[in-house]
């Protein structure tokens, strides 16, 4: 079955970077875009950006341009999202999800809690 399994919770200090991974299985990795969604505590869903595993430049939401880097590793069917220069406001759950030609976000990772604390 389709699975997106994310890396575990992280704690970082302000100014540091964090990298979240999303290992996929159960489908052909190259045929689905990977999106990253953020959810701050008690808040709604925010779209961070998207990457096409077949290549090309990722597209990032304006809010995070310059701080976020999305990559994929086709040899392991894994997507990664790195966020730099963290602030307290970056404390949130980060989700990966996939989008196919027909279906939007039909499978999600379990979420990765990132806590920014001094």
Partner 1 sequence: DIVLTQSPATLSLSPGERATLSCRASQAVSNFLVWYQQRPGQAPRLLIYDTSNRATGIPARFSGSGSGTDFTLTISSLEPEDFAVYYCQQRVDWPYTFGQGTKLEIK
Strand ranges, E, within 40-75: 46-51, 59-60, 68-73
Residue 26, φ and ψ in degrees, nearest 5: 85, 5
89 binds partner 1 (CB under 8 A): no
Nearer to partner 1, 16 or 47 (CB): 47
Cβ 49 to partner 1, closest distance in Å?
A: 8
95 binds partner 1 (CB under 8 A): yes
Which of the residues 15 through 74 are near partner 1 (CB under 8 A)? 35, 37, 44-47, 50, 59, 61-62
Residue 66's SS3 state is: coil
Whole-angstrom Cα distance, residue 118 to residue 109?
A: 27
- Residue 90 tokens read as 């970056």
Residues engaged in binding partner 1 (CB under 8 A): 35, 37, 44-47, 50, 59, 61-62, 95, 97, 99, 103-106, 108-111
């Amino acid at each position: 079955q389709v699975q997106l399994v994310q890396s575990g919770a992280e704690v970082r200090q302000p100014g540091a970077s964090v990298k979240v991974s999303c290992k996929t299985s159960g489908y052909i990795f190259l045929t689905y875009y990977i999106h990253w969604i953020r959810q701050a505590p008690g808040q709604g869903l925010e779209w961070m950006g998207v990457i096409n595993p077949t290549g090309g430049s990722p597209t990032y939401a304006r809010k995070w341009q310059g701080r976020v880097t999305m990559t994929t590793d086709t040899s392991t069917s894994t997507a990664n999202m790195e966020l730099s220069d963290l602030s307290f406001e970056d404390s949130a759950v980060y989700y990966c999800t996939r989008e196919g030609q027909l279906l939007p976000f039909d499978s999600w990772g379990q979420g990765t809690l990132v806590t920014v604390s001094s």
